[in-house]
Amino acid sequence: MSVQSTVVFADLFGSTGVFEALGNAKATELVTQATAWVAQRCSAHGGRVVKFLGDGVLIIFEDSTKAVLAVMDLQRSYQQLLGHMPPKAYMPLRIGVARGGVELVADDCYGDAVNIAARLSELTGPHQIWVNSEAMQDGFDLPDERFRLLGPIHIRGRAEPCRVYQIEWQENLGSELLTIHEGFDLSSRFSDRDALGAHIELKWLDQKKSFNAFDLPIHIGRTHQVEFVVTDARVSRTHARLDWRNGSVVLVDLSSYGCWVRFAGSGSDLLLRREECVLHGNGEISLGTPFSDPSAPVVGFAVT
């Protein structure tokens, strides 16, 4: 049976490192407790818990307003729990929300919205919530809540990009954030012209370079043939590539030993080995060795 639903995928960021640090038994206990807490919290807001997927939980809601209120409460409450967690057990939440047709089969669900919610959860940073435009158009009427427009985001496996918003769930938001009202004209806010003002700044030691969207792709590596040179023995000759893909800056790891990515304000690092992620806001990229190495070649980035 196909129904229009709002799908939430909540994922514990950094659980792989927790398993490495604490061992399987203790890490499994912590992950199970955290995902059960997430499920209970969403159920209290009217969500239907469909299934647990390792360190993630899939929930569906009848409408987007309930879903968004639930995940905002989820992040606020979970942030308080994080304050009591030891560093080795630190697993912030990242959440994807998508509205669309969902096929309900027995006790499971399938569909484009399910795939989009899961992918948005993977792409977003720790402590963040990303929502697709269909959810925002679902009679959404919370005029006091604010949303940051991210633009079109490429979803792996889909030909068309998704228009995505980041929900700013923290209290005392700055006035620079954009408030979206019911009936907001999405199409008027997106076009290829947006790329004219988009750029990324990279910084390593005394070297600082800015690249416009139309300069991409560019490469980061040890050889002087790349656009951003990091002369460190742990950096591959061509270590990583930055692409401009459907409105987003995407970091693609090309190296032998990987890239570690850290977003400003997050407590966990994302390891890429022949994988990719969307860069947004401010953060750092450690090339060839983790941030825990005090001599790591760390490249700062700022995407605007």
Position 140 scores a pLDDT of 62
**Site of tokens 């930055």:** 242
Averaged pLDDT in 10-residue chunks for the chain of 304 residues: 89 87 92 94 94 94 91 91 84 92 88 91 83 81 60 73 80 44 39 60 96 90 94 95 81 91 75 82 94 95 91
Which regions of 62-132 does DSSP assign to beta strands (E)?
93-105, 108-110, 129-132
Residues 6+ apart with CB under 8 A from 160: none
**pLDDT tens string 57-114:** 999 999 898 999 999 999 999 988 888 888 888 888 999 999 999 998 888 889 999 9
Per-domain residue ranges of the chain: 2-189, 193-303
For the CA atoms of 120, 52, 167, 218, the dihedral, rounded to the nearest 10 degrees, stands at -30
Pairing of the two strands 199-204 and 240-245: unpaired
pLDDT of residue 88: 86
Right CATH for 193-303 from 3.30.230.10, 2.60.200.20, 2.40.37.10, 2.170.120.12: 2.60.200.20
Domain 2-189 identical in fold to domain 193-303: no
Give the per-residue pLDDT at 192: 45
pTM over 0.85: no
pLDDT tens per residue across span 200-222: 999 999 999 999 988 889 999 99
Instruction: State residue 184's pLDDT score.
Output: 39
- Angle, helices 24-44/15-22, rounded to nearest 10 degrees: 140
Selection from 210, 268, 207, 262 nearest residue 232 by Cα: 207
Q: pLDDT at position 174, please?
A: 45
Contact 12, 121 (CB under 8 A): no
pLDDT of residue 193: 43
Superfamily per CATH, domain 2-189: Nucleotide cyclase, GGDEF domain (3.30.70.1230)
pLDDT of residue 268: 64
What is the reported pLDDT for 146?
64
pLDDT at 196: 52
